[in-house]
């Protein structure tokens, strides 16, 4: 094998697309997927490549420093692509500690393991940290996040990601650890856990459940098809410059309510419902505390330096995503059984929502 790469969080939404891309595109790399399999990690996401000769799965928790160092010693990694994280803003509001542990301490454990295992000899090594546009805070009606935008995280989730970004840069500056960081906008696509807006609403439309729109619904996000994020990660891992940050976005801003209406329209068509039927499920509920008004990425740096640009239009991506959920009912049933029901009841019950799961 030419290289051995560690991908953390590879059983999650974005991680599974990154693992698949690397396993298939680089048969001469050994890809080690390290994941704790939390509620968000699911090996069903990787069924199609689980027996590939260049793929290894290791169940481990990045908050356990000893285990992580032992895994670095065992595999002698050439590089790390770090995606493992607690990723849902609403969960960070109810349980910030899990985010501090995994996103901050877990990242520090990986940095320490890389530094110790590589013994200061960083030739050919790379630590790639996958981060979010949420570290920049919230925009007004105008403007975009640039790589130079000052950090201003507003939720426990984004604060924990911002802290992890700072640690990665500090290890680069202090110990010379070769790193790259990307800050990406909202992803959507197959295998997205149905706690996030798009898959949650697809699932609720299928089940004729209310669609819980927070606040006035005029919050804006910039959406990117997950496979295009995985392509960007490949390009930055192989072509990005050490010590640099690259913003990744979809050039595709949508107000939540407009996106939800589009989703309803598409779902009506695909489910053979009367036009307007799914829209009747829209239910405005109490807002998310500290809700960031608008995110929008300027992704011109990665475009100019590495030639990356989204390959999938939003209409195409949304249609593919809905088709995937409709064709993968079993996947959806597995992830929405058990703990999901109690999460849902707790998350939405005090927000003025009724007739939801578990009630």
Instruction: Report the alpha-carbon distance of residue 29 to residue 7 in Å, rounded.
Output: 12
Q: Decide: residue 4, CB within 10 A, 0-12 exposed, 13-18 middle, 19+ buried.
A: middle
Query: Is 31 an interacting residue with respect to ligand NAD (CB under 6 A)?
Result: no
Which range binds ligand NAD by CB under 6 A, 30-38, 109-117, 281-289, 305-313?
Answer: 30-38
Residue located via tokens 């809700």: 291
| Residue 19 or 23 with smaller CB distance to ligand DAU | 19
Instruction: Report the alpha-carbon distance of residue 277 to residue 3 in Å, rounded.
Output: 52
Chosen from ligand NAD, ligand DAU, none, partner binding at 197 (C-beta under 5 to 8 Å by type): ligand DAU
Instruction: Report the alpha-carbon distance of residue 133 to residue 131 in Å, rounded.
Output: 7
Instruction: Report the alpha-carbon distance of residue 290 to residue 31 in Å, rounded.
Output: 38
Among 225, 246, 295, 344, binds ligand DAU (CB under 6 A): 295
Instruction: Report the alpha-carbon distance of residue 17 to residue 81 in Å, rounded.
Output: 13
- Is 266 in the active site? no
Among 36, 108, 117, 318, binds ligand NAD (CB under 6 A): 36
- Is 315 in the active site? no
Among 33, 54, 87, 283, binds ligand NAD (CB under 6 A): 87
**Largest Cα span, the chain:** 64
Site for ligand DAU in 33-92 (CB under 6 A): 87-89
| Residue 64 or 300 with smaller CB distance to ligand NAD | 64
Among 35, 134, 147, 165, binds ligand DAU (CB under 6 A): 134
C-alpha distances in angstroms, 160 versus 98, 103, 118, 303? 10, 6, 26, 28
Site for ligand DAU in 161-220 (CB under 6 A): 185-186, 196-197, 200, 212-214, 219
Chosen from ligand DAU, ligand NAD, none, partner binding at 256 (C-beta under 5 to 8 Å by type): ligand DAU
C-alpha distances in angstroms, 238 versus 28, 52, 111, 128, 233? 15, 22, 20, 10, 8
Tokens of 75: 């595999």
- Is 134 in the active site? yes
Contact residues for ligand NAD (CB under 6 A)?
A: 9, 11-15, 35-38, 40-41, 61-63, 83-87, 102, 106, 130, 132, 161, 184, 186-187, 193
């Amino acid at each position: 094998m030419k290289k051995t790469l560690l991908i953390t969080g590879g059983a999650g939404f974005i991680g599974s697309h990154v693992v698949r891309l690397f396993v298939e595109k680089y048969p001469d790399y050994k890809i080690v997927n390290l994941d704790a399999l939390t509620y968000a990690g699911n090996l069903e996401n990787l069924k199609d490549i689980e027996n590939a000769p260049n793929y290894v799965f290791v169940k481990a928790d990045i908050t356990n420093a000893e285990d992580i160092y032992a895994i670095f010693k065992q595999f002698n990694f050439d590089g790390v692509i770090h995606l493992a994280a607690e990723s849902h803003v609403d969960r960070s509001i109810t349980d910030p500690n899990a985010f501090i542990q995994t996103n901050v301490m877990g990242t520090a454990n990986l940095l320490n393991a890389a530094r110790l295992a590589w013994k200061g000899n960083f030739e050919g090594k790379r630590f790639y940290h996958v981060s979010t546009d949420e570290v920049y805070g919230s925009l007004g009606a105008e403007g975009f996040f640039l790589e130079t935008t000052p950090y201003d995280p507003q939720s426990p989730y984004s604060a924990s990601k911002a802290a992890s970004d700072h640690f990665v840069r500090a290890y680069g500056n202090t110990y010379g650890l070769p790193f790259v960081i990307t800050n990406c906008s909202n992803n959507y696509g197959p295998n997205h856990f149905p706690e996030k807006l798009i898959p949650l609403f697809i699932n609720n439309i299928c089940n004729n459940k209310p669609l819980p729109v927070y606040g006035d619904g005029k919050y804006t996000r910039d959406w990117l098809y997950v496979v295009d994020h995985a392509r960007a990660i490949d390009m930055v891992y192989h072509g990005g410059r050490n010590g640099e940050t690259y913003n990744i976005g979809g050039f595709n801003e949508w107000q939540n309510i407009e996106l939800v209406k589009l989703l309803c329209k598409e779902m009506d068509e695909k489910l053979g419902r009367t036009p307007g039927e799914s829209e009747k499920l829209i239910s405005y509920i109490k807002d998310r505390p500290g809700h960031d008004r608008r995110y929008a990425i300027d992704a011109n740096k990665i475009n100019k330096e590495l030639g990356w640009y989204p390959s999938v239009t939003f209409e195409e991506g949304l249609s593919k995503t809905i088709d995937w959920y409709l064709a993968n009912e079993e996947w959806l049933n597995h992830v929405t059984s058990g703990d999901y029901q109690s999460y849902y009841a707790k998350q939405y019950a005090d927000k003025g929502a009724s007739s939801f799961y578990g009630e």
